[in-house]
């Protein structure tokens, strides 16, 4: 199965979005104290990286 750079960036974007959602859900539902804010912040950071990956997809 040949994977070019756009396919790899697409999968990386998808994985980052899923991981961001999981981390935000952990911050909301599992950890109600200060560490929940950290989990949510890391999840938002994952979204930012996924956004960069998706914007790079056509240019690499």
How many alpha carbons fall within 13 Å on the CB side of residue 4?
5
Q: Which helix or strand (DSSP H or E) is residue 48 part of?
A: helix 34-56
In this prediction the pTM is 0.66
Could you tell me if 29 and 9 are in contact, meaning their C-beta atoms sit under 8 angstroms apart? no
What tens-digit pLDDT sequence spans the chain (60 residues)?
Answer: 567 877 888 888 888 888 888 888 888 887 777 777 888 888 888 888 888 887 877 666
Tell me what pLDDT residue 44 has: 87
How many whole angstroms separate alpha carbon 28 and alpha carbon 25? 5
């Amino acid at each position: 199965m040949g994977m070019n750079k756009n396919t790899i960036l697409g999968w990386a974007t998808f994985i980052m979005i899923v991981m961001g959602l999981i981390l935000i859900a952990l911050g909301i539902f599992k950890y109600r104290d200060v560490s929940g804010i950290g989990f949510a912040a890391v999840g938002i950071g994952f979204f930012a990286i996924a956004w960069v990956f998706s914007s790079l997809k056509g240019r690499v």
